Structure 1
Amino acid sequence: MAEVHETAASLRFHGDDLDPEEISRVLGAQPTRCRKKGGIWITPSGKEKIARTGSWNFAAKKEPPCDLDKQINRIFSDLSDDINAWKVIASRYRGNIFVGLFLSSLNEGLTLSPTTLSAIGSRGLVLGFDIYSGDGKE
């Protein structure tokens, strides 16, 4: 089994009453992207949209080859290490580590270390994946 070609990872929180400034203050960093419910945001194609819910995103640099452990741990190292603060935020808002897996061929895979899995769980976060298929050519 070959390694996944490329990965992207981000920390995301969502909630109708989410205040991005509060999360930034508690976690100790500014988000990559955020919005309050009802706020206007611009899509990559330039279209204006109204946010249906509040969100706070903090993305790791997307990089090949795959090193998902490194990306997730980089996110956590840039933010507060106060686990109780994380649990409070995670109990109030829907929080996750969101991962994009970009395959270049069939049958690629990856693993995560117990340390990384523990760091995600201890913060009360869900781990989610979107998998983007390769072209199937070897």
Structure 2
Amino acid sequence: MGIAEHSVVSFRIFGDGLVPSEVTSILGCEPTHSCAKGDIRVGPKTGNKYVEKTGLWSLAAEDRRPEDIPAQILEILGKFPEDPAVWAILRSRYTMDFFCGVFMGSSNDGLEFSPEVLGALSSRGISLSLDIYDPSED
């Protein structure tokens, strides 16, 4: 099994009542992107205006070539408090996940997650979402 060519990883928190500044205060870290439900977003390419359907607080890791999702997850988690009470508050109010985009180099590449990474996600109540992109040019 080979290593995927490229990976992008973001920690995301969603919720209709999400106030980005409150999440920033709880986590002690500035987001890469955030919005509240009802905010107006302007599409960068089209200039079209969109109303945000829910609140979002997101922090992205540095892209990796080759893929190293476990390191990206630990990079992000290392910026946050480990206090279980913090994660209990977030779990009770919001939905949380790690979004991972994986760009495969061939059809036989693979991924592996250590017990350390899986345990860190589980103890915080964070889901893992993988979008895996085929290496074909189609």
Q: State the TM-score, normalized to the length of structure 2.
A: 0.93
Deviations 1:28-59 (A, max 9, x none): 10100000000011233133211011111011
- Between the aligned partners of 1:42 and 1:100, the Cα distance in structure 2 is 23
Uncovered stretches (5+) of structure 2, i.e. residues with no partner: none
For residues 71-93 of structure 1, the C-alpha deviation after alignment (integer angstroms, 9 at most, x for no partner) is 00000011222222012102211
Describe the SS at the equivalent of 2:14.
strand
Q: What is the aligned-residue identity percentage?
A: 37
Residue 27 of structure 1 aligns with which residue? 27
Q: Structure 2 CA distance, aligned partners of 1:111 and 1:89? A: 27
2-side partners of 1:84 and 1:43: how far apart?
37
Q: 2:77 and 2:97 mapped to 1: Cα distance?
A: 12
Code of the aligned partner of 1:101: V
Q: How does 1:1-138 map to 2 (within 5 A)?
A: 1-45=1-45, 46-135=47-136
Taking the aligned partners of 2:134 and 2:127, their CA distance within structure 1 comes to 23
Equivalent residues of 1:39, 1:51 under 8 A apart: yes
TM-score calculated relative to the size of structure 1: 0.93
Retained in 2: the 8 A contact 1:40–1:48? yes
CA distance in 1: counterparts of 2:119 and 2:48, whole angstroms: 39
The CA distance in 2 between the partners of 1:102 and 1:67, in whole Å, is: 11
C-alpha distance in 2 between matches for 1:79 and 1:132: 29
Give the RMSD, CA atoms, in angstroms: 1.2
Query: Does the aligned pair in 2 maintain the 1:91–1:124 contact within 8 Å?
Result: no
SS at match of 1:112: coil
Runs of 4+ off more than 4 Å? none
Give the C-alpha shift of residue 119 in structure 1.
0.5
Whole-angstrom CA distance in 1 between matches of 2:27 and 2:128: 19
Distance 2:73 2:54 in 1: 25
